Amino acid sequence: MTGILFDKGLTRQDLLVLQNLAADVRDYRRRRRNKEQKQPARKRDAATLATLKAFNDPAGAQFEPTILTTRSVLRVETDVVMIMHLLLYFCTSVPSAALLYWNFSCVHGLLHLAMQATYMGTYTLMMHQHIHLGGILSKRYAVLDAVFPYITDPLMGHSWNSYYYHHVKHHHVENNGPDDLSSTMRYQRDNFVHFLCYAGRFYFLIWLDLPLYFLKKNRIGLATKAALWELGWAGLMVGNWGQHAFVDKGRPDSDYRSKSKAEYASQGALVFHGIDFVMITVRLLLKDYRTLAECMVPIGGQISMTMDERVEFLKGRTQQFTEKDIQRKP
């Protein structure tokens, strides 16, 4: 038993990766019992990677598109599920919002709010693809691709174009480093007061912080555009706190994109199961490191850790950085 939760809602890809990591844990325990030498599971890793690639190859036998007739509508065929989400939003959110505008009722408003709450996560993932690729639809639908965010973004809590400027032009450039406005380095990540300061700064100052960041980098055009769009409104960055809470104090700006599991293990990457980034934020603010430790999927040297050692390991990743720490090069 590995103690890892295999949720029934996992995608095939997520399940395959989690099974691979669970097998590493079982192998480690078996070797420790039998006092065997470490044998890297390279064949299993190679097979897992090959299967994952096959899942995303439209020409492969293991590719299972959710919709056959609309693959040509999308820029990337494997994003076919996004067309269903786009249709869903235009068939529910848009008419519901219009009806609320013309004939408001409290009951309808509450139902609409509940519906939007279930949509916001998947919508943001779709827009993440949109801003990185410059769209999700094929080129012949470029006008629709460019226009629909101006309709749906406000319904999902996004101010127009702000996600693009903040995420692509700023966050991916700084990569959680000291100049990243999303960075939690200067905060104690299990401290509720620090969280309120972080969230409060975003709420009240992001409209100013992002343009000032671009001005500091001498990117006048981006500063002007960001200022115009950021003056719309701001959304709470609860998820961002949880996603960026665990920082290696020795390598705070570590940037690794390798597909090698060994590389992730050597960098001390963290993998969780049975918990999402919002609940990670909640558990941190409750200082409930035990639950977080139990939700870890140990990789590399983490496999040999006891639960108490996992707790201390996680606590070490949430310590506040001083300005001296930030200036010190590892």
Q: Is 125 within the bounds of a domain?
A: no
pLDDT at 322: 81
Q: Which residue has the tokens 């070797």?
A: 31
What is the reported pTM?
0.58
Q: Is 188 within the bounds of a domain?
A: yes
Number of domains in the chain: 1
pLDDT at 215: 94
pLDDT at 13: 83
Residues in the chain: 330
CA dihedral 180, 186, 191, 192 (to 10 degrees): -50
User: How many Å apart are CA 295 and CA 288, to the nearest integer?
Assistant: 11
* Burial class, 174, CB count within 10 angstroms (exposed 0-12 / middle 13-18 / buried 19+): middle
pLDDT at 237: 55
Consecutive 10-residue runs of the chain (330 residues): their mean pLDDT? 77 86 86 66 83 77 64 76 90 96 94 94 90 88 92 88 88 86 88 92 86 93 86 54 68 58 75 84 90 89 89 87 73
- Burial of 296-323, coded b for 16+ CB within 10 Å and e otherwise, reads bbbbbebbeeeeeebbebbbeebebbee
Domain residue limits at 287: 176-330
Cβ contacts of 288-293, under 8 Å, gap ≥ 24:
289/190, 289/314, 289/315
Q: Is 171 within the bounds of a domain?
A: no
pLDDT at 146: 92
Q: Is 306 within the bounds of a domain?
A: yes
Q: Is 181 within the bounds of a domain?
A: yes
- Number of neighbouring beta carbons within 10 Å of residue 114: 9
